[in-house]
Amino acid sequence: MLSVGLTCLVGAALAFSQTQGQPPLTFGTGIEIINLTVTVTDAQGRLVAGLDRDAFSVYEDGVKQELALFNKDRLPLSVVLLMDASASMEDKVLPARAAAKRFVQTLVPADRARVVSFNNHIDVLQDFTNDKEALNAGIDRLQPQGATALHNAFYISIKELQKEKQAGAGARRQAIILLSDGENTASIVTDEQVIDLARKAEISIYSIRLTTDFEGDKGRAAFSQATHLLSVLARETGGQAFFPAQLQELDGVYDRIAEEMRTQYSLGYVPTNQRRDGRYRRIVVRVPSRENVVLRYKLGYFGPAA
């Protein structure tokens, strides 16, 4: 098992940012192109494939943008399988492993995945690879114990995917798929810091939160906070949050995520707004020729600062 001193890394990064009087880890001073991964579904939630470039219209702060890039083919994936290894997962670990392995089987040779577990600590059970046997072996090493550092796990996983992109991994769709059954109990990172970082990334976040006692959990503040965080992360990044009440639903959820990744569209544009004001810019994507379709994508980004 590759153990990463990630809690220390998070703390050091945050401490540096705060002593400098800056928000945590602001990235980049220039924006060349804005990349969007777009999922299109019909009114019944069925995925819509086969749309052409001219079907899409993109707006930034209400101003129409010209598409510089468009791809409707399946791009290679870089996926982090982020799996809760806290003590509460002990009675769920076998179906959790099986469902994650089911997702691994959908990957093609050009894809790469990483298996990461989290409790009080964050451990890389298998680093990025396209070797399905190695990924499955990493999933088998998931051993539940300890508390839940959910925010830390998200924060570090986003950072690691950004490093992979900066290292020149080529054109890829990057995603995090979280599986957890609890709320955050052991993080040094706040939900606001996680959301802020996610907004600056080009990474789709999918979360699967097991809620075996959904009705009983709904009244608890911690449940509401966890639900809010996962829902916001999915909405802001163009992913999706799932809250299955039964372990038997896990296979179907992972299947849905895999199918979605096969039918997404990649759009890119150079923003007409060249101001270096550091402000958040809202993105709207539409398919004018199709009625009753639902689009999911990254909702905006922070412009470069002077």
What is the DSSP-derived secondary structure letter of residue 187? -
Condensed to tens digits (0 to 9), the pLDDT of residues 92-135 reads: 999 999 999 999 999 999 999 999 999 999 999 999 999 999 99
pLDDT for 9 equals 43
Strand ranges in 98-202 using DSSP code E only, listed in sequence order: 112-118, 122-129, 173-180
Please name the residue that has the structure tokens 């409707």. 72
pLDDT for 172 equals 87
pLDDT for 212 equals 61
Distance CA 86, CA 90 (A): 8
Distance CA 242, CA 29 (A): 35
Distance CA 72, CA 262 (A): 9
The tokens describing 259, both together, are: 């199918």
pLDDT for 295 equals 97
The tokens describing 204, both together, are: 């789709």
CATH numbers and ranges of domains, the chain: 34-73+267-302 (no CATH), 75-262 (3.40.50.410)
Provide the residue type at 130 as one letter.
N
Residues 48 and 290: beta-carbon distance below 8 Å: yes
Distance CA 10, CA 6 (A): 6
- CA dihedral (280, 226, 183, 152) in degrees, to 10, reads -10
Q: Taken in order 87, 89, 92, 97, is the CA torsion positive or negative? A: negative
Residues of the chain short of pLDDT 70, as ranges, are 1-31, 168-170, 212-223
Containing 80, the helix (H) or strand (E) segment is strand 77-84
Provide the residue type at 22 as one letter.
Q
Q: How much is the CA Rg of the chain, to the nearest whole Å? A: 19
